[in-house]
Chains A and B, each alone.
Chain A
Amino acid sequence: MSLWVDKFRPKTLDDLHYHHSLSARLKSLAASGDFPHMLFYGPSGAGKKTRVTCTLRQLFGPGVEKLKIDQRVFLSPSKRKLEINIVQSNFHIEITPSEAGNYDRLVIQELLKEIAQTQQVDLNARQRFKAVVINEADSLSRDAQAALRRTMEKYMSNMRIILCANSTSRLIAPIKSRCLLMRVAAPTTEEMQVVLEHVAKKLKFDMPPEASSQIAEESGGNMRKALLVFEALKMQSPDLSGPLSIAKPDWETYCRKVAQLILKDQSPSQVMEVRSKLYELLSHCIPPTIILKTVADAIVDSVEDNGLRRDIMHWTAFYEQRMRIGNKKIFHLEAWVVKVMSLYKHFYSGFDLADFNEDL
């Protein structure tokens, strides 16, 4: 019993529901025998990974679905052992280098050179090269990306690299220029509705159009989220009739509560209260960036003045960057909370903000 997201994941390029021109391109590229290195990028839940697996299937046939999980041990220069999980089939290999943390360069170098220097021995294989799928390529360190540069050119005959990333900003230019960029945009609401209806049909179930449109609206272009919400709703009320209450995830309601706390009162004791709530969120492994963004969104929604909203977003962006560079996330979250509180208080007690901002 798997989740619907996995159960109804399209297996071939023809099954894909949206971005048909992209599918056509991928199909013809896979057929041409002259397959380049690729970089898929787009927001999460847009279907990058699905497209990658479909392309692999198109390239190598159904054999790619026979996956095995391997645990490899790499030895770092300081003799530390790193254990990395590798998903592979006979034709491709999948790695998530962020697992290796600082040593991702080592993993990339060793693994790619090893693959690059072995040739495909299976005579029945459709392609002479192996594919290497690198997930979350935007979290690769600079060093690891530099290590990819020459490897990508040198071993083109034995290996193709498929990178999967949320954004290209963090990839160095030499990598981008060596890949064929494939932008996977998030599906529109209508496209999502089509997919939802398709899934409903497979389940032999009649989906009310209001329900599908509401789910699609709610999930903001994230197909994975839409399907999960759909499945959850189906569990609650089997026929999906009547007014739907799409349950927000707990952390989201919690974040909204934090936002309300910040706006209700601006005092040191309130900061303490917010602090304990933030800790609670962090200890449940909600990424700090998401917390910051959700709380900021909630605050901005309930503040009317445009100038104040702009300032709040400015400091949100500012502290988010600080958080990346810094080490202790909670410091920056708190600093942001205090900053927002002071902005809010000053605004409503009628201070002039102009010189206040200059100080900081």
Chain B
Amino acid sequence: MAFFQQAKAAPKHTVEPALQPWVEKYRPKTIDEVSAQEHAVAVLRKTLFSTNLPHMLFYGPPGTGKTSTILALARQLFGPDNFRNRVLELNASDDRGISIVREKIKNFARQTPRAQAVASDGKTYPCPPYKIIILDEADSMTQDAQGALRRIMETYARITRFCLVCNYVTRIIEPLASRCSKFRFTPLDSSSTSNRLSHIAAQEHVDVSPEVIQALIDTSSGDLRRSITYLQSASRLSASSEPPTPITARDIQEIAGVVPNGVMLDFACALGIEFSGDMDVDSDTDRGRKRDFDGIRKKVKEVIRQGYSASQILLQLHDLVILHPTLPARQKARCALIFSEADKALCDGADEELWVLEIGLQVQKCDSA
């Protein structure tokens, strides 16, 4: 009965609204509030009236509203009073080995839903006769645990619906995936991100300029949660400095750990990638000197000493090279190969300095070749 103890203890964890992360505070309350994702929302809206729900599998990149959608849906279906005994939410921070699937999930799944409690806020909720089990971050469940779910899902289909939420649909075993109707969540387009951010900023009385919003969108690449967290951090910083200063786009970049453009351009220059716009012929000799081995090595040491992370450097260098206006396609393709090698190495935990140096030397090589 661990679940019920947890349910009782839960209200103690409520946070004062001022200290709450905005991500939680502005989680959509109804599915109509969910930004973008029209397709999924349209299908789910129907279930509100039909009282029938399939098993569901939500997948998509982080911060696109998967968890928010299912939580909002559950809340609309059951209302605040029934929510606690009709919904079980498990995520990667709970232990979800095969034993938990066998005991906790199975126990919850086999209970017949309780009678509808009278809604205390005076509204009526559809409260259909089934329970929902939300398995958040389901792609981090082991194969065995997923296997154990197969039969449970079918046996108790009459009284329980499962909702699996994951980033990588390929890590969900096929038998589970085929039992669910799949919903793909796409990265947010910039207009809906900017709408949502402006809405939150207005609610929190934070002054944000369009450039800041743009910087948030650029650094978060479609991940709404990330951009909201950045916005909150930035507003915290600006509000706590004396005297309060407005948020700048540079603040956002610093919070996001982005390497400043100046540093990146300098670095790219040392590798022999030229930017015709800002430099002209007279610095040619200077650049020729910088391009050799020692120049690159010194530059790499300098950048690493600044504490920037190698993966971020890689990401930004990639953007610089691939979007470069004049580099020949062949050279870009060679660079792309190098970048992929380096990314793999960094993911394996290889030494950052060595690999940044390696990227530098190889890029310079295919530049001079």
> A-side interface residues toward B, CB under 8 Å?
24-25, 28-29, 31-34, 36, 41-43, 46, 77, 109, 117, 143, 146-151, 153-158, 167-170, 173-174, 176-178, 180-181, 183-186, 220-221, 289, 293, 300, 306, 309-310, 313-314, 316-317, 320-321, 324-325
By secondary structure, the B interface counts as helix
- Whether B60 sits at the interface, judged by CB under 8 Å, is no
A170 and B95: CB pair below 8 A?
A: no
Chain B residues with Cβ below 8 Å from A148 are: 93
CB distance from B5 to the nearest CB of A (A): 11
Chain A residues with Cβ below 8 Å from B307 are: 41-43, 46, 183-186
- Whether B241 sits at the interface, judged by CB under 8 Å, is yes
B350 and A150: CB pair below 8 A?
A: no
Chain A residues with Cβ below 8 Å from B140 are: 143, 146
- Pick the contact of B348: A33, A221, A324 (CB < 8 A): A324
- Whether B327 sits at the interface, judged by CB under 8 Å, is no
- Whether B365 sits at the interface, judged by CB under 8 Å, is yes
Instruction: Known A36-B236, A46-B307, A186-B307; judge A293-B351 contact (CB<8 A).
Output: yes
A174 to B167, CA, bound (A): 12
B362 and A146: CB pair below 8 A?
A: no
A153 and B352: CB pair below 8 A?
A: no
A153 and B255: CB pair below 8 A?
A: no
Chain A residues with Cβ below 8 Å from B225 are: 177
A169 and B240: CB pair below 8 A?
A: no
Q: Which residue of chain B lies nearest to A317 when distances are taken between CB atoms in the complex?
A: B358
CB distance from B14 to the nearest CB of A (A): 8
- Pick the contact of A153: B18, B24, B348 (CB < 8 A): B24
Q: Which of B63, B301, B348 gathers the greatest number of chain A CB atoms within 10 Å?
A: B348
A181 and B255: CB pair below 8 A?
A: yes
A314 and B361: CB pair below 8 A?
A: yes
CB distance from B336 to the nearest CB of A (A): 17
B305 and A147: CB pair below 8 A?
A: no
A180 and B233: CB pair below 8 A?
A: yes
Instruction: Known A169-B310, A177-B229, A310-B365; judge A321-B93 contact (CB<8 A).
Output: no
A162 to B349, CA, bound (A): 22
- Pick the contact of B256: A41, A155, A181, A314 (CB < 8 A): A181
What 6 A-B pairs have minimum CB-CB distances, sorted nearest first? A42-B307, A28-B240, A317-B358, A177-B226, A169-B311, A321-B350
A34 and B309: CB pair below 8 A?
A: no
- Whether B51 sits at the interface, judged by CB under 8 Å, is no
A289 to B354, CA, bound (A): 10
A156 to B305, CA, bound (A): 33
- Whether B175 sits at the interface, judged by CB under 8 Å, is no
A157 to B18, CA, bound (A): 11
Q: Which residue of chain A lies nearest to B258 when distances are taken between CB atoms in the complex?
A: A181
Mind listing 18 A-B residue pairs with CB under 8 Å? Answer: A31-B240, A32-B239, A36-B232, A146-B93, A150-B91, A168-B257, A168-B309, A169-B309, A177-B230, A181-B255, A183-B254, A183-B257, A293-B351, A306-B292, A314-B358, A316-B354, A317-B357, A321-B355
Chain A residues with Cβ below 8 Å from B32 are: none
B21 and A153: CB pair below 8 A?
A: yes
A156 and B19: CB pair below 8 A?
A: yes
Chain B residues with Cβ below 8 Å from A25 are: 237, 240-241
Q: Which residue of chain B lies nearest to A27 when distances are taken between CB atoms in the complex?
A: B240
A77 to B352, CA, bound (A): 34
Chain B residues with Cβ below 8 Å from A314 are: 358, 361-362
CB distance from B190 to the nearest CB of A (A): 18
Q: Which residue of chain B lies nearest to A157 when distances are taken between CB atoms in the complex?
A: B15
